[in-house]
């Protein structure tokens, strides 16, 4: 993964708390009460432009009280190699991506494989806001108010068989629209994987929006993974395939640089990247670096998944 110095986005650009809270109140009252249906799912396919509001719940769990990164920061400093290897191109180039219609193929060790439309995928689920820290392997971080639902709830619907030990996720392949795919910077399409218990963990989110709005294209529209205790590259964007398998999937980054990127990729300040320390991170918009927390601060929830494992070996 390329190392670039994070843009020093001015702290004056950070959304004042009051403005953000006003937006949240708007969402809870006008755009739908907490228990209202998410959105008319039939209309969802037509309603993809940015700025489309989502209805969602405010869960009590998983709510970080840290100041959120601004919408501007979250949508203008992106890693999305399908739209260029720098942080600024995706905001512009991803706008070409057609995200409707969209479907996801469910394959492998499940009783109910098939190709499901985005509507089929979303219909039974309630959306929640989850404010998660995202720690990128390159040493920067943000706090993002995602809107989505637990991946585990979706997985249960497909009834995985006993052979399903891992889950492999694949991003769309469409070089006509994804200009970065015309260059061999990675082995396209982008692939990521999780162990089954990681995929089923309630923190693991399938996100369809952020800041209460439909997912901006540069952030992985229409649907992406968010695994907050792992380095950001595990959080694969624009997913078109979910495959249940018996062996650990080989992710794009493992295939590209196996000595630098392992399957687990848990945020771990004690295990440095071969080319740089992982001890500290720069929150986008801040000047001073802060200490990186093991499992990105989610150890209480997820450390037991790795009990007895040598996390230096399984990096």
303 token code pair: 């450390």
Rounded to whole angstroms, the Cα distance separating 158 from 160 reads: 6
The whole-angstrom distance between residue 127's C-alpha and the CA centroid of its chain comes to 15
Using CB under 6 A as the binding rule, whether residue 129 contacts ligand MTE is answered as no
Using CB under 6 A as the binding rule, whether residue 143 contacts ligand MTE is answered as no
Using CB under 6 A as the binding rule, whether residue 282 contacts ligand MTE is answered as no
Using CB under 6 A as the binding rule, whether residue 170 contacts ligand MTE is answered as no
Using CB under 6 A as the binding rule, whether residue 215 contacts ligand MTE is answered as no
- DSSP labels for 2-50? ---PPP---GGGSPPHHHHHHHHHHHHHTS--TTS-SS-HHHHTT--ST
Rounded to whole angstroms, the Cα distance separating 315 from 311 reads: 5
In the complex, minimum distance from the CB of residue 236 to ligand MTE, in angstroms, rounded to a whole number:
5
Binding footprint of ligand MTE, residue count (CB under 6 A): 17
Using CB under 6 A as the binding rule, whether residue 94 contacts ligand MTE is answered as no
37 token code pair: 């249906």
In the complex, minimum distance from the CB of residue 174 to ligand MTE, in angstroms, rounded to a whole number:
12
Q: With contacts defined by CB under 6 A, name the span among 79-87, 109-117, 240-248, 306-314 that binds ligand MTE.
A: 79-87
In the complex, minimum distance from the CB of residue 87 to ligand MTE, in angstroms, rounded to a whole number:
8
In the complex, minimum distance from the CB of residue 58 to ligand MTE, in angstroms, rounded to a whole number:
22
Using CB under 6 A as the binding rule, whether residue 44 contacts ligand MTE is answered as no
H-helix segments, 149-231: 151-157, 196-200
Rounded to whole angstroms, the Cα distance separating 277 from 287 reads: 18
Q: Decide whether 109 or 128 has the Cβ nearer to ligand MTE.
A: 128
Q: Could you say which of 73, 79, 204, 268 contacts ligand MTE (CB under 6 A)?
A: 79
Using CB under 6 A as the binding rule, whether residue 296 contacts ligand MTE is answered as no
């Amino acid at each position: 993964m390329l190392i670039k110095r994070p843009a020093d986005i001015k702290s004056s650009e950070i959304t004042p708390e009051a403005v953000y809270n006003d937006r949240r109140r708007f969402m809870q009252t006008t755009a739908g009460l907490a228990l209202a249906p998410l959105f008319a799912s039939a209309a969802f396919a037509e309603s993809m432009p940015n700025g489309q509001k989502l209805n969602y719940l405010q869960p009590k769990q998983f709510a970080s009280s840290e100041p959120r990164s601004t919408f501007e920061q979250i949508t203008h400093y992106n890693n999305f190699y399908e739209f260029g290897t720098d942080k600024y191109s995706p905001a512009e180039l991803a706008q070409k991506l057609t995200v409707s219609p969209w479907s996801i193929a469910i394959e492998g060790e499940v009783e109910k494989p098939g190709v499901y439309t985005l509507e089929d995928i979303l219909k039974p689920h309630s959306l929640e806001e989850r404010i998660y820290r995202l720690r990128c392997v390159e040493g920067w971080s943000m706090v993002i108010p995602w809107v989505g639902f637990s991946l585990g709830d979706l997985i249960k619907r497909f009834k995985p068989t006993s052979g399903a030990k891992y889950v492999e996720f694949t991003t769309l392949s469409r070089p006509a629209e994804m200009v970065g795919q015309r260059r061999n910077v990675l082995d396209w399409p982008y692939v990521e994987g999780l162990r089954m218990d990681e995929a089923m963990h309630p923190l693991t989110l399938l996100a369809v929006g952020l800041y209460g709005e439909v997912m901006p294209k540069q952030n992985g529209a229409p649907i992406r993974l968010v695994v907050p205790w792992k380095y950001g590259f595990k959080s694969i964007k624009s997913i078109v395939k979910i495959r249940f398998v018996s062996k650990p999937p080989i992710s794009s980054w493992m295939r590209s640089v196996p000595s630098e990127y392992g399957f687990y990729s848990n945020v771990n300040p004690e295990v440095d990247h071969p080319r740089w320390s992982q001890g500290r991170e720069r929150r986008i918009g801040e000047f001073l670096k802060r200490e990186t927390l093991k499992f990105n601060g989610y150890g209480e929830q997820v450390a037991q998944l790795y009990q007895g494992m040598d996390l230096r070996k399984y990096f």
